[in-house]
A and B are shown apart, each in its own frame.
Chain A
Amino acid sequence: MPVSYRDHANITEAILGFAEYARSHDMNVGIREAQEALRVASLGLIQDKKYFRYALKSVFCTSADNIVLFDDLFSNYWETPYEYSQSSFDIKSKINVQKPAVRSLVFIGKGGNKEAREEDASEVSGANKIEKLRKTDFSKVTDIDSAFLEKLAINLWQQMSRRLKKKLKNSTTKGIVDIRQTIRSNIGRGGTMLELKLKNKKPDRNRLVILLDVSGSMDKYSFYLLRFILALRAYFQNIEAFIFSTKLIRITEYLKSKNLEKVLAHLSAGVDNWSSGTKIGACLESFNDMYAKRSLNGRSMTIILSDGLDTGEPELLSRELSKIKRRTRKLIWLNPLKGMTGYQPLAQGMKAALPEIDVFRSAHSLDSILELEKYLAHV
């Protein structure tokens, strides 16, 4: 595939070639963008490379994320003197199988069959990969996949919380008269207002309290679970979040902060230093002492994310859990270890906790967390 304007006979072809080049690097460039690029040139902006670059950038880029890529592509394509440039982008395109040079056909969406088949195949493997990753235990994800999984997870979780938000919006049984709807629905009665339609504020979202175990044994999971909390935060205004290992720390206010990563790195460094084992019971005790009255009520749901490997006393844990249980509507315990085949809740802490818990589920993979939706829908 041509990677420089010099490979084309005339300006029009060169510009269309650039559109194709950009598209082959995953930029969102379609027919309309290509047409607009031609228009940009015909406006005279092509006289000066600087302005040509500015203009095409605004047409081809759809987000701040692809500005850097665009700049590289532009330089590669329009500024290569004679030989193809050796940048990483071009290496990628050279490895690719040469695509048939039927540009006009490609543009109207009838590219060569061979090309189409190749793309299909890669799509399938991509989809397979996603399916597989969704079921993979977080602790077994390789470094290469982890960035991809993180992106995928955030995406899916955000979709989930968006769906949850929609559910919350319905149900209006009381409120002020919605005059517009009232007139509409009473047209059939000759305009006599028999049936009143009401409108109400969106109901207050009920509170969600999340306690995340960040001790050493949870290390691999807490990274993803924290992102899950962040995704929920986008749609649940009333979210209270805590992390604990040997001490309980409230992180609700940090969830809004831009520097969350930094804050957490700082916090967890501190936590590790103190840790001689997880003290779930003691942490729940301090939660009950300091926060429970404020943050728990009959409408709240409490989620504990922990593997239940406790070094404290089981009695304490059980007692504190039952305190929480009395204050909250539903108590959910998510244990990543539960995803392992043959797992039995034999750990002392987990055993003590089980009788107090309403729902006991696993949270080891993306899919297992997505299954939580049905519980969250009733928050």
Chain B
Amino acid sequence: MIKEVSGFIESFDKLGYVVDEELATILFLMTDLKKPLLLEGNPGVGKTEVANILAAHLGTELIRLQCYEGLDVHSAVYEWNYQKQLLSIKIQESNQKSDIEKEKHIFGKDFLMARPLLKAISGKTKSPVLLIDEIDRADEEFEAFLLELLSVYQISIPEFGTIKAIHPPLVILTSNRTRELSDALRRRCLYHWVNYPDFEKEVKIVHKHLPDIDQKLSEQLVSVIHVLRKKGLEKSPGISETLDWALSLHALGRKELDEESFRRSLGSVLKSYADTEKIKAEGLAKLMEESNL
């Protein structure tokens, strides 16, 4: 195994994240090429968590930008503190400074409120990790803006000048595929499709989060979850659902899964009325049978 890649796997393991060889390889490549990484995959497969752990692994700051429809430059990049500026103008009305000095003062750093993207390129000592979460929710206009930022890592503020990153951030973008991203953005990035983990990996993840859970219980849970994922539900359970479920059964003091505890904890696995009805109609006992319990 390549030394750097196994380094990633070990370090992530210590931080409580089970990473497979493929993702570890790509993360290593990403830190070397300094190229953004686009992660796509079903909801709840741990895309966001990758950024958290990467930041922890590199010992650097994590800056997060949650995208939503209508996200604009003012809430993503920077905003002037207008109230403070107006006050400052009033205060300075009586003093003898020249207009140019006054102007310079109110458009100074003290009045600039940095939002995530500006923060991300003004890292002083180390490259931060910038997580741009759910980019598919932002508008196309914002995507275009981001494209520019990701290629030059600099931001121009008309009143202030251009700020260029000394330590370009490591960028991770996540997308749930609710909207097709532009080809241009895709080509700027390394690409990785995050799959649901296989059986062994998911059991490992459960144990990572709940070290004192029964081996039998965790294996039962995971196999039921795997069957559920094949059912084409409206909201297929992700890893977070598995963990929620494990946690609630663990809290109930169960050592293994039976029909009664399954029924009582159904709400932590299925998050939609239609799905719950569908599974109930099929029968929990039958589902457990399918999962070889």
Which A residues contact B (CB, under 8 angstroms)? 28, 30, 36, 39-40, 43-45, 47-48, 50-51, 54-55, 57-59, 61-64, 67, 158, 162, 179-180, 183, 191, 202, 234, 257-259, 262
B229 sits at the interface (CB 8 A): no
Partner of B25, one of A54, A61, A234: A54
A-B CB contact pairs (8 Å), 29 listed: A36-B35, A39-B32, A45-B25, A48-B2, A51-B2, A51-B21, A54-B21, A54-B22, A54-B25, A54-B26, A55-B26, A55-B29, A57-B191, A58-B25, A58-B26, A58-B190, A62-B189, A62-B191, A63-B40, A64-B40, A67-B193, A162-B140, A180-B79, A180-B80, A180-B82, A183-B85, A191-B89, A257-B234, A258-B234
Query: CB-CB < 8 A to B253: which residues of A?
Result: none
A183 closest partner in B (C-beta): B82
Q: Which residues of B contact A28 (CB under 8 A)?
A: 183, 186-187
Tell me the smallest distance from the CB of B61 to a CB of chain A, in Å.
24
Decide yes or no: A50 and B21 within 8 Å by CB, A45-B2, A62-B191 being known contacts.
yes
**B1-45 at interface with A (beta carbon < 8 Å):** 1-2, 4-5, 21-22, 25-26, 28-29, 32-33, 35, 37, 40
B70 within 8 A of A: yes
> Closest A-chain residue to B26, C-beta based?
A58
In the bound complex, residues from chain B placing their C-beta under 8 Å from that of A61 are: 191
Cα distance A191–B86 when bound, in Å? 10
Q: How far is the CA of A157 from the CA of B136 in the complex (A)?
A: 19
Query: Is the Cβ of B25 less than 8 Å from the Cβ of A59?
Result: no
Q: Which residues in B have their C-beta under 8 angstroms from that of A262? A: 232
- Which secondary structure dominates where chain A touches chain B? helix
Contact (A259, B232) CB under 8 Å given A51-B25, A162-B140: yes
CA separation between A262 and B29, bound complex, in Å?
A: 41
For A54, A61, A67, A162, the residue with the greatest tally of chain B CB atoms inside 10 Å of its CB is A54
CA distance A294 to B62 in the complex (A): 47
Taking the nearest CB of chain A, how far is it from the CB of B208, in angstroms?
22
A63, B40: Cα distance in complex, Å: 8
CB distance from B116 to the nearest CB of A (A): 19
Chain B residue at minimal CB-CB distance from A44: B2
For B79, the chain A residues whose CB sits under 8 A away are 180
Question: Which chain A residues border B82 with CB–CB below 8 Å?
Answer: 179-180, 183
How far is A333 from B26 in the complex, measured between Cα atoms in Å?
53
Q: Per-residue CB proximity of B53-96 to A under 8 Å, as 1/0?
A: 00000000000000000100010000110100100010000000
**Chain B positions within 8 Å of A48 at CB level:** 1-2
| Chain A residues in 8 Å Cβ range of B33 | 36, 39
In the assembly, what is the distance between CA of A48 and CA of B28, in Å?
15
